Amino acid sequence: MADQSTHAASTAEADKGYWAANVRIILISLVIWALVSFGFGILLRPMLSGIAVGGTDLGFWFAQQGSILVFLALIFFYAFRMNKLDAEFGVEEE
């Protein structure tokens, strides 16, 4: 009986570590996405207007294309990192 409670406690601790790492990855991704889409595309647009990218200013580029490309990169980063995290905690898909 004591062995089962020890195993349950270690499993609960592993679950907490897994979800803490998962939430940390999500929060970092959301901060990057918000900074790029809202920060660079809206708030910092006047400062970025002097830098030309593809015939337009950098602020406009971030508002129209940059935030979408960063979002796609974040999707791939999240999938890669979660696969690595799943393998680390032994909950990967087969």
Grade residue 32 by pLDDT with cuts at 50, 70 and 90. Answer: very high
* CA angle centred on 93, ends 92 and 94, rounded to 5°: 120
- For residues 68 and 81, give the distance between their C-alpha atoms in angstroms, rounded to a whole number: 20
- The answer to whether the CB of 74 falls within 8 A of the CB of 32 is yes
**pLDDT tens by residue, 35-90:** 988 888 888 888 888 888 888 888 888 888 888 999 999 999 999 999 999 999 88
- The answer to whether the CB of 66 falls within 8 A of the CB of 72 is no
pLDDT given at position 78? 96
H or E element, residue 63: none
